Amino acid sequence: MPQSVGFSREKYIEMQSAHIKRRREEIAGKGGKLYLEMGGKLFDDMHASRVLPGFTPDNKIAMLDRLKGDVEILVCINAKDLERHKVRADLDITYEDDVLRLIDVFRERGFLVNNVVVTQLSDDNAMAQTFIARLERLGLTVSRHRTIDGYPTNTAKIVSEEGFGVNEWVETTRDLIVVTAPGPGSGKLATCLSQMYHDHKRGIAAGYAKFETFPIWNLALEHPVNLAYEAATADLDDINLIDPFHLAAYDKKATSYNRDVEVFPLLRTLLEKLSGSSPYNSPTDMGVNMAGHCIIDDEVCRRASSKEIVRRYYKALVEEHRNGDDDIISQRIAMVMSKANVTADDRRVIAAALEVEAETQAPGSAIELHDGTIITGKTSPLLGCSAAMLLNALKQLAGIDPERHLLSPASIEPIQTLKTHHLGSRNPRLHTDEVLIALSVSAATNEDARKALAELKNLKDCDVHTTTILGTVDETIFRNLGVLVTSEPKYQKKALYRKR
């Protein structure tokens, strides 16, 4: 049974590309450039695909394909994120590596991208200086943007030679400049404003617009889709709010968030200083987001978003436990859960996995298939609970008798011997990767194994819960399968050192 769809990908690509094209033509007609800040992820937008079922991770880039001949992509990265080795959690790679990955992806799709901006740069940031040298060796042009004291409130200083004036100008060749980054807090808006300042000095007309999928401006403030975004950005302490400028200008409510509202006076002041007036009366006016118009089943999106809020809560609990952090982030998300009126019960796999653990006094796991069937896995001498659950789910999907062994104990034993006698493992149980390899080998001679492997694709977007924190291997396998995993914030065994 396929996953329910709540969002129209085709309608979105059509509406969004047409709307951006109109914005571009308004400024390009004056011989100028439009800087389009891309909030969220331009590529691999996993959050959007989870809360808006039907939205695919490549939706935004597919939309920009319609405008490819007019687009130049500019990638930003915050020097402070380089210094603290910030990691993109959904891909488990550093922001530094993601900059290179994104450039490769854009170029493979035929987009022009030659420039990287390193923002909030200081002379004593050795990591940033090393990365800049690396980028330049790779043939990329790097522009250095400095931290500006008083940003974003001291507009007199910011819009001056002591403010944006100290930043290096990025020379671009197209009239639609898409400004993107590996993640939030990368300095995209400041880069757009700095470019507008320098363009004006050179007699180039420049405009600004923002493409931010979330929060969705024409959905209610406490719609689950918008609350899921608030949960996703709890580490940034972002909050959704009613756009006060929009309410004052039009007497209409529109959903925005604190950072856009805080920086709007700066943007308006800059536009007024550069061109005598601002075309925008509110942060909402700046946006070009059409996502809210493309929801075709609101209830499907509400359910998906409610489960995403719970998933974010458990993710925060696990990270706090792993790092020994205070419960600040999880408590923020707990408040979002309260506003959304959701609990752990909204993620049915949680109760099912805990029930297995209570019955067996060992780690348990559970998966909810797309038809609503709950399949569980328990820990045994041969298999970890995640591996057992994976095999049980594949048997269910393939219509194989649940009592039949896909892998015989005789086929598992050599793998256990290899692990414990030769590879230094103290745990003889098979992980998910080992089970899948064994299943692949068996598929050469076993029809059931072949049928089971063919069902792997149907695990994508299924909910999973485990009663202990996953090891790195299992975590990676589930991520690659597209499975949505949560875990209880505890390890199977107590230990002071753990290999990540």
Same fold? 9-294, 347-487: no
Residue 497 has pLDDT above 70, yes or no: no
Q: What is the pLDDT of residues 440-458, one digit of tens each?
A: 888 888 899 999 999 999 9
Mean pLDDT of 247-261: 94
Provide the pLDDT for residue 500. Answer: 47
pTM over 0.95? The answer is no
Q: How many CB atoms lie within 10 A of CB 492?
A: 16
Q: What is the pLDDT of residues 119-150, one digit of tens each?
A: 999 988 999 999 999 999 999 999 999 999 98
Residue 112 has pLDDT above 90, yes or no: yes
Q: How confident is the model at residue 495 (pLDDT cuts 50, 70, 90)?
A: low
Provide the pLDDT for residue 300. Answer: 97
Provide the pLDDT for residue 496. Answer: 41
CATH number among 3.30.1360.120, 3.10.630.10, 3.30.200.20, 3.40.50.300, domain 9-294 = 3.10.630.10
Q: What is the pLDDT of residues 168-187, one digit of tens each?
A: 999 999 999 999 999 888 99
Domain residue limits, the chain: 9-294, 347-487
Q: What is the pLDDT of residues 57-96, one digit of tens each?
A: 888 889 999 999 999 999 999 999 999 988 887 777 899 9
Q: What is the pLDDT of residues 2-22, one digit of tens each?
A: 678 999 999 999 999 999 999
The domain defined by 347-487 folds into: Cytidine Deaminase; domain 2 (3.40.140)
Residue 49 has pLDDT above 90, yes or no: yes
Residue 314 has pLDDT above 90, yes or no: yes
Mean pLDDT of 470-481: 91
